[in-house]
Every structure is written in C-alpha cells, then in structure tokens.
Structure 1
Amino acid sequence: MALMITDECINCDVCEPECPNDAISMGPEIYVIDPKKCTECVGHFDEPQCVQVCPVECIPRNPDYLETAEQLMEKYNGLQAAKSA
C-alpha cells in the first residue's frame, strides 16, 4: 500500500529528501506522494523513512492503493530495473 500526505502537512521539507524512490514532491499546496513510486521503503529500509521524520504525523497509508509486501517488493524491483536501464 502506498503512503499519502494529508492536509495536515506543514511543508517542513523533511520528508522529500528521505524518500529513496523520489516518490515525494511538492504539490499545488502541500507535498504529495506518487503511489506508482511509493514502496513504503520496502527494499530500502524496514520502515518508511518519511513517516519516521514527519513532525506532525500526517503520512498514513493510502487506502486507494492496497498492496501486499510482495507487491511492494515487486514495485521496488521494477523501479530499480528502470533506474538501471
């Protein structure tokens, strides 16, 4: 399941550089997470790094993108293959 950033975001800029998949970017008003790139840090870390650094705890799982750990690992592998190409 990909993560999402809620409107409680204070634009503190700490989450974006922590994302190993470059899934976080500035949206029209707050940061957003691209669900096609978010693996919840599966393949990189044991826990999502953006969640670890967020001072206002505004990064829950996105209920619109239900994925198993295996699917997240598959997405990670696809993203890594695309980087290598």
Structure 2
Amino acid sequence: MSRVCQITGKKAQVGNKVSHANNKSKRRFEVNLLKKRFYVPSEEKWVTLKVSANGLKTINKIGIEEAMERGRKNGLIK
C-alpha cells in the first residue's frame, strides 16, 4: 500500500535539496504517517488506519465515524 493518509489524502511532495553552495538535487518530502487502531462503536470493531498527524487531529475534532465516511467518499478507504 502506498504512503497516503487514509483520512486526509496527504501524500509525498517533491522538492529540491539545496546545499550550502546552492546546488539543487531532487528529494521527497514524506508524510508523517502512523499506523493507528481506532474503535468504531457503530460497527463494534477495531479498525487499523494509516493516518497522518494532521489526520489524527481531524479524527479528534470530527470523530472517527465521520472521518471514515469522508475517507470512503474520497476513495481513500475501501
């Protein structure tokens, strides 16, 4: 599975590594992903998701059920 947040859809970005001599070479800015288990009361089971730190904040704010519904709607959760 690719390194994409299942709640927010965040994925790696591409940019330049810049040396002291101002030489530029391509690099990737990876997402801060965590594998986290959540209990979903409506389904009465535990679900494991790959979420970014920002995705955790979203889950804390709107709740796991609403966050999973948005993830499914955006095609991030199967």
**Same fold by TM-score, threshold 0.5 exceeded?**
no
TM-score by length of 2: 0.32
Higher RCO by CA contacts (8 Å cutoff, separation 6 or greater): 1
TM-score by length of 1: 0.31
Q: Which has the larger radius of gyration?
A: 2
Structure with the higher fraction of residues in strand conformation: 2
